[in-house]
Amino acid sequence: MSGELLTKSKIADALGTNPMRVTRFIERNKINAVKKEGKRELFKLTDFNALKKELSEPETKKEAQSHAFSKDDYILTLKKQLEDQQKQFDEVLKSKDETIDSLKETIATSKHVYEDMKDQLTVKDNQITALTKLTNNAQTLNLVDKDPKRLQTAQGNAEMKPEQSSSEKAANNQQTSESEKPRQNWWQRHFGRNK
């Protein structure tokens, strides 16, 4: 076995230590691999006599045992990590469900508020329509109180299609009366009245 080429883990098994210790020894002593097969590095066991001697010393043996990490310990550690992750995951799911429920309640409340506002707008529209009718009726009554003939004239004009509005008629009447007056020049208009 001493002439065989071994991987780090095989050397660790042969020396009764862990692969990490072998790796540290390789780095510290700058031992080069004799052969490489893909990613695996192969070493001679004889290159590790110094490590074997280190491990055989009583203090180092105790230290190695205290640092040794068995497969059972490793499995227990992994199980604990998985349980912790599962707890975190469950808490995240619970929080997510609470957030979704809260959002659903907010949406339901918003819909209710929207429907209330819609109803209020309908009521306002009805009130505006009613007020407009009342305003029109009040104006009509006001006209009747002032001049009943005006109401009849306004109703008559509304029934017939007027070709001209009342303001257009007034403007035409004024133009007609001005055209019938004798023309005066500027001097006469301003200074003729003083005479």
Average confidence (pLDDT) over 44-64: 75
Higher pLDDT: 111 or 166? It is 111
Look up residue 77 and give its DSSP letter: H
For residues 102 and 94, give the distance between their C-alpha atoms in angstroms, rounded to a whole number.
12
pLDDT digit string (tens) for 105-153?
888 887 888 888 888 889 888 999 998 889 888 888 887 787 767 656 6
Do the beta carbons of residue 47 and residue 14 sit within 8 Å? Answer: no
Task: Work out the percent of the chain whose per-residue pLDDT is above 70.
Answer: 69
Give pLDDT, residue 59: 61
Query: Using 50, 70 and 90 to split pLDDT, how confident is the model at 21?
Result: very high
pLDDT exceeds 60 at position 181: no
Helix axes 58-67, 49-56, angle to 10 degrees: 90
Residue for token pair 């020894």: 25
pLDDT exceeds 70 at position 168: no
Average confidence (pLDDT) over 65-71: 58
Average confidence (pLDDT) over 42-71: 72
